Amino acid sequence: MSAPTASPHRSKGHKPKEKKSFWQLEIGKKASSDDEAIDHPPFVPTLPRVDLLPAKVRESIGLRKVRRAVIAAIVLLAACTGGLWYLQGSQIDDANAALAEAQSESVVLEAKVTALAPVKEMFLQITSQKDLVKTTMASQPQAAAVFSHLLAAARVPGGASPIEFSAISIAYQGIPAEGDPLNECANPDPFGTDIAVGCMTFEATAGSREQVSELLRVLARDPVFIGPYVDTTTISTDAVGNDGTVTFSGTSGVSLDALQIPLTDEQVEAIRNPPKPVADTESEDGGAS
């Protein structure tokens, strides 16, 4: 029969001691009986390591590494630049070839333009002469047509015989310029806006005063004439005192309808309402302000 194992002595009020790590010890302090037990780290056998290289050697090694890195970066950059230049070389050559071809074509075209310069000058001269002829023809009235209209009007009024003209005279002054009077002929309507290119005067003999009045009405309806009227009238009487023939003289303006080439609406509007001079426009603006 085995003897009973003695239980460790435990003092009332004391706690069991905890082991403290070796690295937590205070160096230089004397251990006492009350100190806690020390927990030593396990021993691991290793080879000793000693750095025998001086600091200058280590610096030179680091500097050499930096130099190698810089040289490698420069070489890489040069390689990339050369590669890009090589890739762009074909495009640059194509562009230079296209430029040279365009320059050669430009020289050929300039030579052709120089050779055709006389043709251009001749074309400008012909165009100028064409415009001159057109303007001249436009300002020339149809004289025969005006006489025909007047004689046709003399045959319309009623009577035993048509009105006979003893004298007809037409003075053409051309198309009025912008700003000139629209009608320089004697006109019973001083506020009229019809444009006259000539003034016609006539002397005639009618069978009665009614024929004269009817002639004026027919001429007024004809667009070739402007403001026809009679300025003098002489009535002859027979032996018994009855009214005989009527001798009269009159005048009328010749309108734009008598021109060889009619004017456009824009040209007519420019003659009737010419643009104001720049000086007048500026003065009006200054007065308004």
Percent pLDDT > 90 in the chain is 11
DSSP β-ladder status, 225-237 and 196-206? unpaired
Residues 134-178 pLDDT 10s: 655 555 667 888 888 998 888 866 666 788 999 999 888 878 877
Q: How far from 254 is each of 129, 149, 268, CA to CA, in Å? A: 27, 11, 15
Comparing 228 with 31, the larger pLDDT belongs to: 228
Joined together, the tokens standing for residue 164 give: 């006979």
* Full-model pTM: 0.47
Comparing 127 with 67, the larger pLDDT belongs to: 67
Q: What phi and psi, each to the nearest 5 degrees, are found at residue 13?
A: 95, 0
Residues 71-120 pLDDT 10s: 989 988 888 888 787 777 777 878 888 888 888 888 888 888 888 888 88
| Mean pLDDT value across the chain | 77
Comparing 276 with 163, the larger pLDDT belongs to: 163
Q: How far from 29 is each of 24, 25, 32, 35, 253, CA to CA, in Å? A: 12, 8, 9, 11, 145
